[in-house]
Amino acid sequence: MSTVFGIDIRKGNIKSTTVHPRFSLTEVEDGRIVSEEKSISIPRLFRLMRQKKPAVLAVDSVQEIAGNDAGLWRFMASMPAETPLVQVTGDGVTMESLPVIAARYNLKFDKTNPAEEARVSALIASYGGGYEVLAFEGVTTVIVSRARSPGHGGWSQNRYVRKIHGGVRTKAREIEVKLKEAGLSYTTSAKEAFGGVSRILFEVKAERAKVPVASARCGDIQIRVIPKRRDKILYVPRDEKNPYVIVGVDPGTTVGVAVLGLDGTLLHLESVRAQSPAELISVISGIGIPVLVATDKAEMPAGVEKIRRVFGAVGWNPKKDVQIKEKYAAAKEYTFADDHQRDSLSAALMAYKSYLPKFENIRRRIPRGADVNAVFAGIIRGKTIDEILVPDEKIPETAEPVPQNPQIFDEKDLDILRLEGEVLKLRKLSTDLSKELEAKDTALRSLQKRVSQDRNEQLAAVLLSEEVTSRDRELEQTKKALRKEERRCKNLRLRLERMKRYIALTAGDGALALKVLQQFSRDEIRSMDDEMGITEDDILYILKIDGWGKTALRDLAEAHVRAVIFPKHTYAKACSQHLTDAFREINLPALSGAELSPHVRGKIGIVDEEAFYRAESAWKNTQDAYLKDKQTNALSGMVSEYQVQRKHDVMTMGIDPATWSSEPENAAVPLKKTDISSGKIKIPKTPAKVPALVTENKDTGKTTLQIENNILKAIQSENTGSKQEQSEERGTATRNRETADKQSGCEKKDKELKTDIITTVLDTYRKERQKELMQ
């Protein structure tokens, strides 16, 4: 008689620290329900398990009794050692719902009732279903130690300590005798103390259920039995029999295979090119036991027939070849990769649907607890339900129904059947070897630690090598380059955003866009050029001019910007530092922002278009006057410089400066600087003939004196001609006012001729001066 406990959580949560969970409990004995309890606590559950010692504790999910692996270890350590824990819904990875599992055993229940779920879990476990949970290895640790600390005592403290430590040694000897009687292998380690031992540890190489010692506390001594935890919790199926399946095959160069469970669940679907029959048979046998092999052709192909005979399965083929439209309709609820998968899947589904009415009819006659899939497999093989349900008789997995037309088996088929038997034996051997492998895991871990240490030492040596160092250096350089490029990309994105805003401002009506410079310096100009670019016709708004230099002016001149605007106070500071004059030298408008009122946001801004045009026009007018004054000052300075130099030369040659400076009778009237700039000297439309500036003479001193006199005569003749022209123009203006516009045009031309004459005089002077110095 085997007793099975089934539990299901009723209320509360196992993870809660305030509300303790309550469970429904069902006790099943040999498939019969013995008792049920609607609400019990975990401590009461453990007490009942120690009293009745059930063969199995079944639960639909371990998540109901433990929130994580550590909680599950603690729960299983508190259970009786001889009672395994079974999860009926899956192996922790591939999980199925409890109703699906119950349907395989023809069980029905109310999903909303925890008591019925506990009953179904217990029945499934009693029928051999579910997965056993393995949390511990085959090693158990037994610790014998004192149960209390001696503390501070009086005269009898030493005697009391000797009593405790002696009791620990005595109890350890008793446990050692029990282990020897049980024939178990173990190792011990003890901690010596005053009068005996304070702690002894037994490491027994056996499962906890086989160790004849239990955790207890007696007086001053305590015993703890601790099984060794596995690195990972395992779920082992209790029924290792392969399921019965329906196989659909599409033969050819590329073989399509579809495997269905007897409940219609798709278990496997693939298409493989150039796969041999042996490989295909191996794949199918690894999934389950075929009881029905189907094809979509009216006449079963030879390759499909061979697979059917190897497994001893029943063949299924339609009355006529299945059309493509029918294949799509049959497999529309599934996903397939190609036509081969579609054909094999449609054949398997059609074969399943042809038996489905019979399955539904038989299901009502199957008793509770019977293996529904085994019954369905027997029906496909042609058995009656009475033959299938005969007690103590199992359905042969490889038995083939008696065919109406006996098939002739060749030697290859017999070899395949023989090899299948060997495969089963090898599987059993593999199970035994896997258990042996678990026992060797401990030794393997220690070796892995040693290997890891050796690898670390080798790795340290490799890292010290020059090659690795150079590669690390290259990697570091590559990382730096990557970070640099990332920063560059970030700057380019910011520049792009600013350019977009700048273009949007430029496109505005009645406003011009500004590019803002925080400081008038070369670095700031380069930064602006990198971020937004400084191009021709740009208008710059400079906030500060501290530390300006000629290099910054040269950069702006080379960029050909349209104008520069300063704030009010900055413009005043620029005037005091002669920065505005420097801008005039490079012919770059420098405007004050006091009248323009620019609006700045970040590194861009706007200014009113009409106000800017007015300020720019006013600056150009003042620039023309500035250029004229500059030209006049240059001419006057050159004449003064010449006079000073001539006096020095005359004195050097021994000539009396008083005699040299006396004017001749026909001496020219000295020309003032203001006469040229104010326009008092007028140039006639047809200028008077300019006398020769240089008269050839062997006497160098006289030649030099005559140069100066000729320059003065030329200027005087120009003045005389301009006076005559002026009187003539006045008479003409009195006679006819209608020609005023023409005369104004003539005056402009006269000014241009005047400028040309002065330029000619200066060029001639320079050439003569060079000849004189060369002599």
pLDDT given for residue 26 in this prediction? 92
How far apart are alpha carbons 423 and 665 in whole angstroms?
Answer: 144
Q: Which of 376, 266, 235, 393 is nearest to 314 (CA)?
A: 376
Dihedrals φ, ψ of 756, to 5°? -65, -40
User: CA torsion, points 350, 352, 354, 358, in degrees to nearest 10?
Assistant: -170
pLDDT given for residue 44 in this prediction? 92
Cβ neighbors of 576 (< 8 A, separation 6 or more) are none
pLDDT given for residue 257 in this prediction? 92
Q: What is the pTM of this model?
A: 0.42
Q: Which of 129, 135, 125, 114 is nearest to 54 (CA)?
A: 125
Q: Is 512 exposed, middle or buried (0-12, 13-18, 19+ CB in 10 A)?
A: buried
pLDDT given for residue 201 in this prediction? 92
Q: What is the mean pLDDT of each run of 10 residues along the chain (775 residues)?
A: 86 81 90 87 91 91 88 88 89 85 83 90 86 88 87 73 88 90 89 86 88 86 89 81 86 89 88 80 85 90 86 88 88 87 91 88 76 82 76 42 41 63 76 81 86 85 76 89 89 76 63 87 86 84 87 87 90 88 88 86 84 89 85 83 80 64 45 44 41 40 47 49 47 46 51 60 67 61
Encode 173-188: b = buried (16+ Cβ within 10 Å), e = exposed: eebbeebeeeebebee
**Are residues 168 and 156 in contact, defined by beta-carbon separation less than 8 angstroms?**
no
